[in-house]
């Protein structure tokens, strides 16, 4: 049975057999039996490389340890509100720090917490939270940003929007011009996407290029 550790662009945790292209965590979310009990434990939500220095953890969801999370791609991780890890993705992290005028990790994480959750100050108990969305001009959004369309996450890529599923992008529509959008990706991370930054992990799953 698949573990409930795949993350959607909304930041929700779902069970799916696919591994995804990006790995990360937001603290220990599971109990001693491996059941997800909370949405997040800490404000430090990070996205990492799948492989780094040969490190390997097995089994997953060990009691009392952080919950290993997986994302379809980095665009999904950013939409969910996970920033690049300062250890395994140092160059990506440094690019974000520079963009935010040298802010430290604590300040960045506090800002992202406000940008990704409508109830950021609420207790961390429970497995769901209300996502904050932002008004934006669809024309202005860079590749890799996510918007909500009919309450479903869609990836912005070129002149199209691509619908997210846990297994990949399954359909697309033309990007409308002159419209407003319900932006899901936190604005600080949208700025990173629009800065010309080239990340160290796959930004977009290959299914979006088909």
100: in domain: yes
pTM: 0.96
179: in domain: yes
pLDDT band at 30 (very low <50, low <70, confident <90, very high): very high
77: in domain: yes
1: in domain: no
pLDDT band at 58 (very low <50, low <70, confident <90, very high): confident
Task: For 117-164, write each residue's pLDDT tens digit.
Answer: 998 778 777 888 899 999 999 999 999 999 999 999 999 999 999 999
- Integer Cα distance of 80 and 110 in angstroms: 15
112: in domain: yes
Which residue segment(s) compose the domain that 11 sits in? 6-209
Between residues 56 and 66, which one has the greater pLDDT? 66
30: in domain: yes
Going by their DSSP bridges, the two strands 83-84 and 46-48 should be labelled as parallel
Q: How many domains does the chain have?
A: 1
113 Cβ partners below 8 Å, 6+ apart? 43, 81, 120
Which tokens go with 6? 């795949």
Task: For 68-84, write each residue's pLDDT tens digit.
Answer: 999 999 999 999 999 99
109: in domain: yes
46 Cβ partners below 8 Å, 6+ apart? 24, 25, 26, 82, 83, 84, 85, 86
| pLDDT at position 112 | 98
- Integer Cα distance of 33 and 38 in angstroms: 14
Nearest to 100 by CA among 112, 90, 88: 112
Count CB neighbours of 134 within 10 A. 14
23: in domain: yes
């Amino acid at each position: 049975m698949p573990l409930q550790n795949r993350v959607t662009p909304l930041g929700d945790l779902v069970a799916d057999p696919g591994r995804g292209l990006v790995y990360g965590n937001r603290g220990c979310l599971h109990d001693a039996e491996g059941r997800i009990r909370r949405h997040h434990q800490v404000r430090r939500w990070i996205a990492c490389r799948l492989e780094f220095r040969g490190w390997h953890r097995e089994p997953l969801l060990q009691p009392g340890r952080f919950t290993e999370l997986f994302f379809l791609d980095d665009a999904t991780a950013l939409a969910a509100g996970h920033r690049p890890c300062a250890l395994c993705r140092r160059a990506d992290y440094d690019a974000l720090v520079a963009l935010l005028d040298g802010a430290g990790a604590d300040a960045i994480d506090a800002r992202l917490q406000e940008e990704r959750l409508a109830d950021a100050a609420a207790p961390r108990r429970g497995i769901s939270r209300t996502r904050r969305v932002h008004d934006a001009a669809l024309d202005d959004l860079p590749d890799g940003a996510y918007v909500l369309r009919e309450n479903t996450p869609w990836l912005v890529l070129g002149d199209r929007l691509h619908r997210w599923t846990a297994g990949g992008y399954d359909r697309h529509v033309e990007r409308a011009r002159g419209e407003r959008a319900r932006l899901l990706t936190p604005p600080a991370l949208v700025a990173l996407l629009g800065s010309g930054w080239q990340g160290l992990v796959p930004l977009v799953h290959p299914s979006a290029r088909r």
